[in-house]
Copies of this chain bind each other. A is one copy, B any other.
Amino acid sequence: MAKKIEVRITSDPQMLSVLRAAITQVGQLAGFAPMEISKIVLAVDEACSNIMRHAYKGKKNQPIIVTCKLKPTKLEIVMHDFGNSVDVEKIKSRKLNDLRPGGLGVHIMKSIMDRVIFKNGTDEGNFLIMQKALPKRQ
């Protein structure tokens, strides 16, 4: 009986604010504390920005489907796109001591979420699955 919320946007950076607002509320429904919510929002925003920049190479009218599932013990967020698929091995964060603009997104996603799984180049497109354990109830 997982609760499910899906947000479908186009690959236009203007849409990120809509996605962030929705994810903020999802985080509240899931019972996360405010700072945790804002980190989850950041992880989703980074994943979505990467799809816009890398999978769709800046094209603005391509579909991105973000599905949030509130499972009994965890929040799962799946990002789905139909863009350019990169070898999963190549998607990695740079060393943090290499100071240059860029290369931070994947590192951020991985340090915030418990699991970050790329399933690129499937018949139905690219999937990015992010999971985070729900906070313990008091």
Contacts and interface: CB of A to CB of B under 8 A. Distances in A.
Contact of A25 (B8, B10, B17): B17
A46 interface: no
Interface in A1-53: 1, 3-10, 12, 14-15, 17-18, 20-22, 24-26, 28-29
A84 interface: no
A13 to B, nearest CB: 11
A21 B17 contact: no
A14 B26 CA distance: 10
A16 to B, nearest CB: 9
Instruction: Give the oligomeric copy count.
Output: 2
B3 A10 contact: yes
Given A1-B61, A61-B1, A7 B22 contact: yes
Q: Give 4 closest A-B pairs by Cβ, nearest first.
A: A6-B8, A21-B21, A18-B25, A21-B25
20 contacts: A1-B61, A3-B12, A3-B14, A4-B9, A5-B10, A6-B7, A6-B9, A7-B7, A7-B8, A8-B8, A14-B29, A15-B29, A17-B25, A17-B28, A18-B26, A18-B29, A20-B25, A21-B21, A21-B22, A21-B25
Interface of A: 1, 3-10, 12, 14-15, 17-18, 20-22, 24-26, 28-29, 61
